[in-house]
């Protein structure tokens, strides 16, 4: 048995294999922003995940919920996610049910931890939308592409916010220096004008 205190937050240690006919499953629920604080979205996720467990005859041994916590920023602490990782490492369950793969994680490094855990017989990971099957090459490829796209969307959003901030401050966008901005200039003067393009008459 793995000592829970020795398990890093970002890693997943495979528990010792044991002969089991009844899958012990966990459910992970998460939404990035709960506008009302009523937890309605995670309750809808819970209903779908519990239905999957019933259909497969799995016993739910734990439910983990991180309500109104984003998974896009790796600096964010998700208490129940970290607890789930420790519980899996201690052999408490051998299946994870979540509504969608991006509810579980949006971090490529964390995804690789789950892929490692599911590559060999042991962990089963099931999503309510039926898209994730980390036991197959195609499923792992799909999961990696989805995580990469999600990461790119976050980075684009941050860059757009930074550009809007620079525009509000009267500063040119980062990147290639516009030809009408003097070298070394940090701001665009309101009185500055661009040289108009003129077509040659000859």
- pLDDT of 8 reads 41
Report if residue 140 sits inside a domain: yes
Report if residue 184 sits inside a domain: no
Of residues 84, 153, 78, the one with CA closest to residue 125? 84
Residuewise pLDDT in 10s, the chain (202 residues):
444 444 444 467 666 554 455 789 999 999 999 988 899 999 999 999 999 999 999 999 999 999 999 988 888 999 999 999 999 999 999 999 999 988 999 888 899 999 899 887 678 998 988 767 787 888 888 888 887 887 777 666 555 555 666 666 666 666 655 555 555 555 555 555 555 556 656 5
Report if residue 146 sits inside a domain: yes
- pLDDT of 44 reads 95
Report if residue 191 sits inside a domain: no
**Domain enclosing residue 121, as ranges:** 4-151
Structural domain total, the chain: 1
Q: Show the DSSP H helices in the chain as ranges.
A: 40-56, 79-89, 101-104, 108-119, 137-168
Report if residue 58 sits inside a domain: yes
Distance CA 16, CA 60 (A): 20
- Mean pLDDT of all residues belonging to the chain: 78
Q: Is there a contact between 103 and 45 (Cβ–Cβ < 8 Å)? A: yes
Report if residue 113 sits inside a domain: yes
Read off the tokens for 184: 């070394």
Report if residue 164 sits inside a domain: no
What CATH number does the domain containing 32 carry? Answer: 3.40.50.1390
Report if residue 166 sits inside a domain: no
- pLDDT of 43 reads 96
């Amino acid at each position: 048995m793995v000592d829970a205190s020795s398990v890093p937050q970002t890693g997943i240690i495979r528990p010792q294999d044991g002969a089991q006919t009844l899958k012990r499953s966990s459910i992970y629920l998460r939404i990035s922003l709960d506008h009302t604080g009523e937890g309605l979205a995670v309750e809808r996720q819970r209903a779908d995940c519990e239905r999957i467990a019933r259909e497969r005859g799995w016993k739910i041994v734990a439910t983990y919920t991180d309500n109104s916590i984003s998974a896009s920023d790796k600096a964010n602490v998700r208490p129940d996610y970290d607890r789930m990782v420790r519980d899996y490492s201690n052999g408490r369950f051998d299946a994870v049910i979540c509504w969608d793969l991006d509810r579980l994680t949006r971090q490529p490094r964390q995804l690789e931890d789950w892929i490692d855990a599911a590559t060999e017989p042991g962990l089963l990971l099931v999503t309510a939308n039926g898209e994730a099957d980390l036991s197959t090459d195609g499923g792992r490829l799909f999961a990696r592409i989805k995580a990469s796209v999600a990461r790119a969307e976050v980075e684009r959003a941050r860059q757009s916010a930074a550009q809007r901030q620079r525009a509000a401050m009267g500063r040119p966008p980062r990147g290639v220096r516009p030809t009408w901005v003097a070298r070394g200039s940090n701001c665009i003067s309101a009185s500055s004008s661009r040289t108009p393009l003129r077509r040659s008459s000859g």
